[in-house]
Amino acid sequence: MLIENCTLDDYFIIIRDIVAFWGSERTLSFHHPIYIHEFGNTAFVIREEQKPVAYLFGFLSQTDQSGYVHLVGIRESHQKKGLGTLLYQHFINYCQAKGRTHVRAITTPENTKSIAFHQHKMGMKMIGELGDYDVPVVKNYAGEGQDRVVFIKEI
């Protein structure tokens, strides 16, 4: 599968088809076009028949030597085919080429599917203290009272 930089046209298709990727519109507010306009060199897409079937929006941290994965979306029709892992590895390779030493990502404590993917498929470790869902969380990571599971992987 060919991984390329995500274009604004790809972005508009992703937004239009958001339910096909996430099963609902719950993540729509996290999909800002800034990830294409300002971080386009770390926004990647896999297309099938000119249509995005998987994407990763990330960026390089300005405060430490990490790359941060903001969103990974796979059309439900294309899940369980290794596309998320493929995109992550592509992003990791990019980060390594830019001298980064680790990759980070976050999810909500109740998102067991995301936690399993990051732990078992990507080999990422969770940091923080044990939270309400019996997983480590970083307290108030996303704002007051908004704990998040924070993953890290040395690269």
121, 84 Cβ separation under 8 angstroms: yes
Question: Which superfamily does CATH assign the domain made up of 1-100 to?
Answer: Gcn5-related N-acetyltransferase (GNAT) (3.40.630.30)
* Percent of the chain residues topping a pLDDT of 70: 100
Domain coordinates in residue numbering, the chain: 1-100, 102-155
Residues 6+ apart with CB under 8 A from 148: 106, 107, 108, 109, 137, 138, 141, 142
Cα 151 vs. chain centroid, distance in angstroms? 11
Q: Which two tokens stand for residue 49?
A: 């028949």
Taking the C-alpha atoms of residue 23 and residue 12, their distance in angstroms, rounded to an integer, is 17
pLDDT tens-place string over residues 28-81 = 999 999 999 999 999 999 999 999 999 999 999 999 999 999 999 999 999 999
What is the arithmetic mean of pLDDT over 145-150?
97
- Provide the mean pLDDT of the chain: 97
